[in-house]
Amino acid sequence: MPASAGFTAAHVRDQSGKTFIVTGANAGIGLETSRVLALRGARVLLGCRNAATFEAAAVDLRHSAPKADLAWMPLDLADLDSVRAAVAVAQQEARIDGLINNAGVMIPPLTRTRQGFELQFGVNHLGPFALTSLLLPKLAETQGARVVITSSIAHFKGRMEWDDLNAEAGYRRAARYRSSKLANALHLFELDRRLRAANSHIVAVGCHPGVAYTRLGRHVGIAQWAGPLVGRFLNTAVQGAWPTLQAATGDIEPGGYYGPTGLAQARGVSGPARRGESALDPVAASRLWEISVQLTGIDPGLPPA
C-alpha cells in the first residue's frame, strides 16, 4: 500500500458526541490514542489503575487539548473484581461508542494476577475478555459501537499451551507473550463470528501497532541500554496509535485487522494487516472462548457461530 493511501491521525474525523473507553490510557499508545480522540471532540474514559496515573495523563492530554472531556475509569486488568467495578462506572455513561482494549504487559518475570492467572495471559487476554463481555449490553445501546482488540505481530509465532495455560509446568516469558497475543487474535476472530451469529450491530475489529518504542518493552533486556538508539528505527507511540485509531474510527471491515503497512508490518502508516493461520482457526478460537468463560466466570451470552 502506498504511504499516501495509509491511515494516520490526520484521517480521524470529528468525534463530537461520541464516548470511548481506552485501557492503558496513561502511557504510550493508549495515551496517544486518547489524545487524538480528545482533540477530535470525543469524551474519553481513561482506564488507569490509580488516580495518580490518571491525573498525570489528564494533565498531559490537556496541554494538547485544553477542553478535553476526560474521565477516570479505575481499572486493573490483573484483577477481575476491578474489571467488574470499571464496568459499573462505564454503565453510568449516556453512551459508549468504542471500547479500545489497548493495555497489556510484555515479557515480565513470572507474576500472577489477583485471581492467580499467569500475568501475561491474565492481563493481555482474560482481563480484556471479561471487560468486553461485561460491556456488550452497554455497547449494544449504540448503533455501530466498536470493540477494538489489540494483538501483535508476535502472534505469528504464538502457540496456545492448552495443557498449561497458567504456566504451572514452566514459564518462558517470550513464549507466553506470543501466546497471549495469539489469544487476542483468536478472541477477535471468535467475537466477530459470534456477534454476526447473534445479528448484533456491535462491530469487532483488531489492530496491532507494529514495533513501537514504548514503555511496554521495559522488561526486554536490550531496551534497557539500546532503547533510545533502536527506537529511532521503530514506530513512535504516536505512529503506533494509528492502527488503533483506524480500527476505532476509520472506514473498516467488520472483523478486520489493521496495522502498519511498512516493511514486515513493523512501522509506517496503517492499513489492512495480515494474520497468521493460527489466528483464524475456528476450533482453537471456540476452545479459547469456552475456556475464558470458565476461568473468568463471565459468559458474554453470545451463541456459537
Annotated catalytic sites, by residue?
Answer: 177
Q: Which residues pair with 7 in a beta bridge?
A: 270
Sequence-distant (≥ 6) Cβ neighbours of residue 160 within 8 angstroms: 179, 182, 183, 186, 284, 288
Task: Quote the Cα angle for 261-100-144, to 5°.
Answer: 95
The rounded distance, in Å, linking the Cα atoms of 59 and 34 is: 12
- Residue 82: C-alpha distances to residues 8, 99, 113 (Å): 33, 16, 11
Matching residue, cell 479500545: 100
Q: Are 64 and 39 in contact (CB under 8 A)?
A: yes
CA 280/CA 276 separation, integer angstroms: 7
DSSP code of residue 109: S
Q: Can you tell me the distance from the alpha carbon of 207 to that of 212, in angstroms, rounded to the nearest whole number?
A: 13
The span from the CA of 109 to the CA of 71, in Å, is 32
Residue with cell 499516501: 4
DSSP H helices in 95-220 = 119-121, 127-139, 173-197
